[in-house]
Structure 1
């Protein structure tokens, strides 16, 4: 059984920082989806997903990321992937998805990409 840990922090400018660790797959993706949906229902339109401790991502996990990014953009917000591990970056690169996402190496960089001063 895989496990996924999500820590949520609210930052300036109604930004939700979600630190995601473990495996994002068919058995865990719904947890991340619920967390994103709950924040969005509270008016959050900008998301930073800190993924340095994400060990595995499946197509179900990638679907959550792409859907959340599209939904945030359609509401005038955005989604930034922060601190991708080399393994997760390689998966997104193989799938030709790197250009689809905004990717930052620092929290300040992620906030700038979202148009928010940190």
Structure 2
């Protein structure tokens, strides 16, 4: 259930990013959901290795280089996913920020609901 919920949240983040950023586009809602699945797989497999390799740079920039890594993961997803297009680094950069903010907000709402339900 957690995987499906995270995939849905990521798909909503992609939809918001597509709406707000000119350089991000999807061929349709099915492509958005499949891209969310691919993005989850890319983040699970490649992002940890990339974070480890860029650890010194991340320390020097006080963690801000993580934004560049997130943009790279979004760009890599677009390369693998035929129904998704990301035009340029800045589109990927701001798109990754939007997806992260939407994911954070949704996870926060879910955690708050669970806290209320457990009372």
TM-score over 0.5 for the pair = no
Choose between structure 1 and 2 for higher RCO, CA contacts under 8 A separated by at least 6 residues: 2
TM-score, normalised via structure 1 length: 0.26
- Judging by fraction of residues, say which structure has more strand: 1
Question: Between Structure 1 and Structure 2, whose CA radius of gyration is higher?
Answer: 2
TM-score, normalised via structure 2 length: 0.26
- Judging by fraction of residues, say which structure has more helix: 2
